[in-house]
Amino acid sequence: MRPLAEKKLVVASHNGGKLREFADLMAPFGIEARSAKDFGLPEPDETGTTFEENAYIKALAAAKATGLPALSDDSGLCIDALGGQPGVYTANWAETPDGGRDFRLAMQRAEVAMQEVGATEPAQRTGRFVAVICLAWPDGEAEYFRGEAEGHLVWPPRGDKGFGYDPVFVPNGHERTFGEMTAEEKHGWKPGQADALSHRARAFQKFARAKLGSA
């Protein structure tokens, strides 16, 4: 694996929720991180068909534009009853006619789809959040770190924390949704402590162990 010589990174995202979560996860490591938005970079078209491909597109674009290593993630919700949808198109399900995103609308769309296939009981409403972190260098080299959080979906949404589909997702072993958990509870991990809970924290935990020498 290629060493991360300096703790300077670009976080290749314009998503405020993701940026807050990465800031929380990076805080213990003293990483100097700036977002793609800070550099005024445009959002590249995510034309990949896998989480890995889309994460690479974003990280490589930011790395080439800034000359710094760039960290990105592509993540989504995969619902078993819907054959893994929305998957890589998770954010697309939230798109509105005016070009914005409404995740309340996206959660409702997912619920309607599950109702249409008869997924009404918890055992029929299983799924997982997936996050793939890509660390890319300006020369195109990249490494990937994947995290998954298994659980089931509930309705109606519960909680006003987190972002995206958090209010309808209950992780295995818990009774509250991600939307009802604080950031510390949702991530469930700090260096030297127990394994992470959320998909993004699990992916970051693998990154930290590989690149930052974390336990």
Say what the pLDDT of residue 70 is: 96
Q: What is the rounded distance in angstroms from the CA atom of residue 203 to the CA atom of residue 215?
A: 14
In the predicted structure, residue 6 carries a pLDDT above the cut 80: no
Q: What is the rounded distance in angstroms from the CA atom of residue 68 to the CA atom of residue 136?
A: 9
Domain boundaries, the chain: 8-211
Q: What is the rounded distance in angstroms from the CA atom of residue 148 to the CA atom of residue 162?
A: 17
Q: Which of 150, 159, 199 is nearest to 180 (CA)?
A: 159
> Which uninterrupted H or E stretch holds 208?
helix 199-211
Catalytically annotated residues:
74
Long-range contacts of 27-32 (CB under 8 A, 24+ apart): 28/190, 28/191, 29/191, 29/208, 29/212, 29/214, 31/7, 31/212, 32/7, 32/8
Give the mean pLDDT of 96-101.
91
Q: What is the rounded distance in angstroms from the CA atom of residue 168 to the CA atom of residue 190?
A: 25
pLDDT band at 137 (very low <50, low <70, confident <90, very high): very high
pTM: 0.90
pLDDT band at 212 (very low <50, low <70, confident <90, very high): confident
In the predicted structure, residue 195 carries a pLDDT above the cut 80: no
Q: What is the rounded distance in angstroms from the CA atom of residue 182 to the CA atom of residue 168?
A: 15
In the predicted structure, residue 127 carries a pLDDT above the cut 90: yes
Give the mean pLDDT of 141-163.
96
Give the mean pLDDT of 59-85.
97
The correct CATH number of 8-211 out of 1.10.3720.10, 3.30.450.20, 3.90.950.10, 3.40.50.300 is 3.90.950.10
